[in-house]
Structure 1
Amino acid sequence: MSDTMHVSGTVQPRSPHQLCLDENERAAQGTRADARVPSEFVHRPVADDILVTSWRRVDDRHFSLTARWPHDHGYFAPDHGRHPLILTAETIRQAGLLLSHAELGVPVGHHFILGDLVFTTHPELLANDGGPTSLTIDVICSNLRMRAGTLIDGRFDMTVRSAGRIVATGHSHVTVTSPAVYRRIRGERLTARHSADPVAPSVPPRLTGSATEDEVLLSPTDRPDRWLLRIAPGHAAVVNPANDHVPGMALIDAAQQAAYALTAPDSFVPYALATKFHRYAEHGAPCVIEARRLSSELPGTTTVEVTGLQDGEPVFVSTLTALDGRG
Structure 2
Amino acid sequence: MQAPSIGAEVEVLSFLQPVTRELVHRSSIAEVFVTGGVRTGTDTFSVGAQWPRDHALYHPDENGLNDPLLFAETLRQAYFYGAHTYFGVPLGSRFIGQDVSFDITDPAALRVGGAPLAVVLHGTWTEERDRRGRAAGARLDVTLTVDGHPCGRGHTRGLMLDDRRYGLLRGRPAACEEVIPHRPALDARIARPSRVGRLRWKDCVLERDRPDQQWGLRVDRDHAVLFDHPTDHVPLMVMLEGFRQFGHLTVHEASRRMYAGQAFALAGLSLDCAAFGELGEKIVLDLEEGPSDECTLRVAARQGGKLLARADMTWKCVGSRAPWSRFASW
TM band (smaller chain): 0.7 to 0.9
Amino acid at match of 1:57: R
- Does the Cα contact within 8 Å between 1:27 and 1:162 map onto a contact in 2? no
Post-superposition offset of 1:200: 5.8
Task: Give the whole-Å Cα distance in 2 for the aligned partners of 1:104 and 1:90.
Answer: 20
AA at the equivalent of 2:73 = E
Deviation string 1:83-117 (CA, Å, 9 cap, x unpaired) is 11111111111101111111111111111122331
Aligned residue runs from structure 1 range 73-152, under 5 A:
73-80=55-62, 81-121=64-104, 122-145=106-129, 152=136
Q: In 1, distance between residues paired with 2:172 and 2:305?
A: 21
Judged with a 3 Å threshold, the aligned counterparts in structure 2 of structure 1 residues 295 and 258 are, in CA distance, closer, same or farther, namely closer
What CA deviation, in whole Å up to 9, does each residue of 1:39-82 have, x standing for no partner? 01111111111111111111211112111111122222111311
CA distance in 1, matches of 2:213, 2:115: 36
* Partner Cα separation in structure 2 for residue 303 and residue 30 of structure 1: 36
Alpha carbon RMSD of aligned pairs, Å? 2.7
Tell me: CA distance 1:76–1:103, structure 2 relative to 1, closer, same or farther (3 Å): same
| Paired residues, number | 303
Question: Which of 297, 315, 318 does residue 322 from structure 1 map onto?
Answer: 315
Q: Which moved more, 1:164-173 or 1:207-216?
A: 164-173
Query: 1:304 — aligned with what?
Result: 297
Describe how 1:116-265 pairs up with structure 2 within 5 A: 116-121=99-104, 122-145=106-129, 152-193=136-177, 194-196=180-182, 198-199=184-185, 201=187, 202-223=190-211, 226-232=214-220, 235-240=223-228, 242-265=230-253
SS in 1 for 2:9: coil
Letter matched to residue 212 of structure 1: R
The one-letter amino acid paired with 1:316 is A
Name the CA distance, whole Å, in 1 between partners of 2:212 and 2:78: 36
Return the offset for 1:162: 1.2
1:40 alignment partner, SS class = helix
- Give the match for residue 38 of structure 1: 20
**Which of 255, 274, 294 is 2:290 aligned to?**
294
RCO higher in structure (CA 8 A, sep ≥6): 1
Q: Distance in 2 between matches of 1:287 and 1:66?
A: 35
Shift of residue 223, structure 1, vs aligned partner: 4.7
What is the rounded CA distance, in whole Å, between the counterparts of 1:28 and 1:34 in structure 2? 10
Alignment partner of 1:67 out of 30, 49, 57: 49
Deviates more, 1:96-105 or 1:264-273: 264-273
In structure 2, list runs of 5 or more residues that go unmatched.
256-262, 321-330
- Secondary structure class of the residue paired with 2:11: coil
Scaled by the length of structure 1, the TM-score of the pair is 0.84
- Report the TM-score, using the length of structure 2 for normalisation: 0.83
Instruction: After TM superposition, give the deviation of residue 198 of structure 1 in Å.
Output: 4.0
The alpha-carbon distance between structure 1 residues 75 and 131, as it changes in their structure 2 partners (threshold 3 A), is: farther
Q: Which stretch of the first structure deviates more once superposed, 50-59 or 131-140?
A: 131-140
Matched, 1:277 2:273: yes
> In the TM superposition, what is the alpha-carbon distance from 1:144 to its structure 2 partner?
4.5
